Every structure is written in structure tokens, then in C-alpha cells.
Amino acid sequence: MSSTIAVRWLGLMLLVLVPFEAIQAQDANSAAEAAKVAWQDAAAALQRGPQEVKLRDQGLLKLPEGYGFVPLAESRKLMDVLGNSVGDNFLGLIFPVGSEDADWMVSIDYDAAGYIRDDDAREWNADDMLADLKKGTEAGNKRRIERGYPGLEITRWIEPPTWDAINQRLVWSLEARQIGAAPDADTTVNYNTYVLGREGFFEMNLITTTSKIERYKPDARMLLAAVAFDDGKRYADFKPDTDKVATYGLAALVGGVAAKKLGLLAVLGLFLAKSAKVIVLAVAGIGALVTKFLRGKKA
């Protein structure tokens, strides 16, 4: 009997011999232990500011004091136990380590999309973009519901898209709510910041709740300013005759869809991927977890 078949048979035997409630309790205990180990590993690997963190072969994060960076391997494990998958673009996580009550984190990615032209930033209208994103989300709700996910609605800009053409930095944030949520529900928010380079872009998403986003916007902007591309990799280093140009423009980074090309198609990926991330963190109580494991305090 192969090991794979043996494992399958063992699983069937356990289902027969062990009460369902006991299996549930065992699964919960295993998950809790896995989460504890992941947080402890993250704490051990945490790089505290001030220090410089290399971001692949592209740039540098000058991590300020009061912030900590968890490297890729430990961050990936942490995201996994929180129920979030990450792709090849994922670089790591940043947490606050100097505040007792701060409850946010920042995920960092690098996308080698090529050089992204910013021509469309001169023409976009935030109200029109919001209207299109609302319609796109409504169109996607049927598919979400068919897959067992709740319907979503976009209510407003937390921060309308702003493009800093001098420093090649983009900032935007939307409020998305589950349909039927209580009016006073404290929704989760991704505060999205980008810095563009010659061969792609860094994306930094601060994850928190609506009631606290105004408080933490300065953190997101400080960390955005702390990321820079290396010489030769900067936006200004672009060589039009030889370099790869992205197949989409700057507006495609707003809402996670190529708005001009896709029109009213669903923005499914943005909200299923990112809302899942923030919902899990909100339930887990990120503030308490960070306090316990990243600041070295006992339970």
C-alpha cells in the first residue's frame, strides 16, 4: 500500500471512529498551534527599523524606526495560517512595532509588468471611475453569489486616485461593503500605494478598518516614501527603444482592473482576494496578535 493510499484510508478510519465534534476540536487546536508557530517564526525573523531592506534586484526599503519587516518565507507562512494565498510577486509584510494599540499591516509586492505609461492620469475623473467600478462590481455579484461569496457594493472613495508624476507614486483606496451589512459596520479597508519603476512597480497595501484608516494614512504614506528603486531601475531610466512597456496604463492599477479595456466587467479579483485578507485579519484580531508575538509580550 502506497503512503498516499495509506493516508487516505487512515483519514476514512478516523471519520468513522472519532466523533465529529472531536475532529472539529482537533482541527481547531491544530490550526491554533500552526498560527502560534507562524507568529513566533515571524517574530524571530522580524527586521526592526531603522535599517535598509533589499527588495529583490529592484529597490530598497529604508525601514523607519517603529516599524518591522517580516521576510518572505515567514510572511508567506503567516499569510497561509491566516487563510490567505500569496503569489510570486509577494515580498513580505510590515507591522507597527512601536505602538501598543496599532492594528494594521502592510503587504509588499513587486510586479514586473514593464514600464507603465501615465498618460491616462491626465484625463481620469475620479467620479467617473467610481461609477464604473460600482457598475462593474454589481455585474460581478451574480458570479460571486454563485460561488458562495456574499455580494459586494462599493460605497465611496476612502482616497480618490492621486498620481504624483514627479516621484511616480500612486495612492487610492475604496470602501467596499458586503450587501446587507449593518450601516454602522466597521468595514475593512485596503489603502493602496504604488511606486513605479522602469521594469515594473512596487505595491504596498495597508490593511485596516474604516474607523481607523484616517489615523493610519500617514503610516502608509511614510512607508511609500521609504521605498525607492535602484539606480538604473527608476522610472526616469526607461529606454523606449529597448524596454518592455506594460500592456495597460496607470488607470488599470486603480481597482485592479484595466478600466478602459474591460468597461463593466466584474472586479472580482480585487475584492475576493483582498477583502478575504482583511476579513480574516479582523476576525483574528491583528492588534492582539502583533502585540503578543512581535513585541515579545506574554499572553
Going residue by residue through the chain, which has 299 residues, state the pLDDT in tens, using 9 for 90 and above.
Answer: 333 333 332 222 333 344 444 445 556 677 778 888 888 898 889 999 999 999 999 999 999 999 999 999 999 998 887 777 788 999 999 999 877 677 888 999 999 999 999 998 888 889 988 888 887 777 777 776 777 767 778 888 999 999 999 999 999 988 878 888 887 888 878 888 999 999 999 999 898 888 899 999 999 999 999 999 999 999 999 999 999 999 888 888 886 532 322 222 233 333 333 333 433 333 333 444 554 555 444 33
The conformation of residue 251, written as its DSSP 8-state character, comes to: G
Secondary structure element (H or E) that encloses residue 189, with its range = strand 188-196
Please choose, from the candidates 126, 82, 128, the residue with its C-alpha nearest in 3D space to the C-alpha of residue 105.
82
- At residue 292, the pLDDT reads 52
Please choose, from the candidates 265, 277, 238, 268, the residue with its C-alpha nearest in 3D space to the C-alpha of residue 109.
277
- At residue 2, the pLDDT reads 36
For 42-78, b where at least 16 C-beta lie within 10 A, e where not — what string? bbebbbebeeebebeebbebebeeebbbbeeebbbbb
Determine the straight-line distance between the first and last CA of the chain, rounded to whole angstroms: 45
Please choose, from the candidates 220, 20, 245, 273, the residue with its C-alpha nearest in 3D space to the C-alpha of residue 106.
220
- At residue 154, the pLDDT reads 82
Secondary structure element (H or E) that encloses residue 36, with its range = helix 20-45
The CA-based dihedral angle spanning residues 11, 17, 21, 23, taken in that order and rounded to the nearest 10 degrees: -30
Pair 58, 233: CB distance under 8 Å: yes
Task: State the burial class of residue 240 (Cβ atoms within 10 Å of its Cβ: 0-12, 13-18, 19+).
Answer: exposed
- Give me 43's grid cell: 517574530
pTM of the full predicted structure? 0.77
Q: What is the DSSP string of 115-143?
A: BPP-GGGGT--HHHHHHHHHHHHHHHHHH
Q: Residue type for 78, please? A: L
Q: What residue has cell string 472531536?
A: 22
Q: How far apart are CA 95 and CA 109, in angstroms?
A: 15
